[in-house]
Amino acid sequence: MHRLLTAVGCVGLIVMGPAKARHYESRVAFAQELETTTIKYLRGQSIQPVFEGWSHNPDGSFSLWFGYLNRNYEERLRIPVGPDNGFLGGEDLGQPEYFQTRRQQFAFKVTVPATWPKDKDLVWTVKANGVTLRAYGSLWPVWEIDQNTISANRGARTAVDFDEPPNLPPQIVSPPQDLTAALGSSLAVTVSVSDDGNPKRRADRGARVAGIKPGSARGAGADQDQPPLRESLRVTWIQWKGPGTATFEPAVVRVAEGKAATRVTFDKPGTYVLRAYAEDARIHSWQDIKVTVTTSSSP
């Protein structure tokens, strides 16, 4: 499975309808922007929602994957679900309310039934800093993807060893139920992660990725058996919704003995949704955790 992001796709403009042409042209412009932009804006810029592609589900339904580019390097925007952040005129289909900086790929997916028309667009609208932009999702065949596509697009290796077993996304099991935290205090959150143990680590691969010769020292006190964090089984924490800002320490955690823990603080009371992504080889699954933050010192 693959997606055409090069000039080869231009041939399709001859036969595709206005909506598909608009979708293709927006993706080309978006790709060119990522490659050519040299000015860095800290804040005040727009958010470009992105349709990443669609995949099959075992029950015959389809998943339409979405992400986004927050053009700001520092400003994280909160855009409540509704007309300024919604599908079908403002509907909540699982999109974020709190937007991280820069490019967030394959952030969430929307499941549509097997009967979803192949030529029907699912449009995500986001208005940020006065600019309204849209992503057009559809079951157009050229946008079909699978886990290998996701892994490659997120920067993982594309080649596999002979007879290497398939790698399934790690899963968060028995997540904590709704939590309560006191404003100004840090909340400890721990999740359990199950994994199939794939992909198997190549001999000295972690050293090569880090630019270190096999067998060389990594520095005093360093664990020479540990792969780089970005290559390990890990959990990445982000804020999905909430009235204020949630701060994680740390935000990326290596899974040890099947668990990953972080501490999170909040700057405003209210209801928050935290999202934990379990990842390896750049494929992922996620779990949302609801936290109610109170002004009381004793939650």
Predicted confidence (pLDDT) per residue in 235-264, tens digit: 999 999 999 999 999 999 999 999 999 999
Average pLDDT over residues 60-73: 96
Lowest model confidence (mean pLDDT) among 6-20, 190-204, 223-237, 284-298: 6-20
Exposed e or buried b for every residue in 239-248, given b needs 16+ CB within 10 A? bbbbbbebeb
Strands 62-70 and 102-112: antiparallel
pLDDT band, very low/low/confident/very high, at 218 (cuts 50, 70, 90) = very low
Q: Is the pLDDT of residue 214 over 50?
A: no
Domains and CATH numbers, the chain: 7-145 (no CATH), 171-211+228-294 (2.60.40.10)
- Mean pLDDT within 100-115: 95
Query: Could you tell me the sign of the dihedral formed by the alpha carbons of 237, 238, 240, 243, in that order?
Result: positive
Strand 234-241 and strand 270-280: pairing? antiparallel
> What are the residues facing 198 on neighbouring strands?
none
What percentage of the chain carries pLDDT values higher than 90? 57
* Closest CA relative to residue 265, chosen from 184, 173, 207: 184
Total length of the chain: 299
**Could you give the maximum distance between any two Cα atoms of the chain, in Å?**
65
The pLDDT assigned to 213 comes to 45
Distance CA(272)–CA(189), nearest Å, equals 14
The average pLDDT across 265-284 equals: 90
Listed range (77-81, 87-91, 264-268) with the worst mean pLDDT: 87-91
Mean pLDDT of 41-46: 94
Residues 6+ apart with CB under 8 A from 212: 218
Q: Residue 69: what pLDDT?
A: 97
Backbone angles phi, psi at 105, to 5 degrees: -90, 145
Check whether the bond before 250 is cis (ω within 30° of 0): yes
Which distant-in-sequence residues (6+ apart) come within 8 Å of 67 by Cβ?
49, 50, 52, 103, 104, 105, 106, 107
143 has pLDDT over 50: yes
- Give the model's pLDDT for residue 147: 76
Going across the sheet that includes 283-294, the strands are 179-182, 283-294, 270-280, 234-241, 252-254
Per residue in 173-193, pLDDT (tens digit) is: 988 889 999 998 999 999 999
- Per-residue DSSP letter, 219: -
Residue 200 has pLDDT above 80, yes or no: no
Please give the model's pTM, rounded to 2 decimal places: 0.76
Q: What pLDDT does residue 148 have?
A: 74
Residue 58 CB-half CA count within 13 A: 0
Q: Chain centroid to CA 187: how far?
A: 23
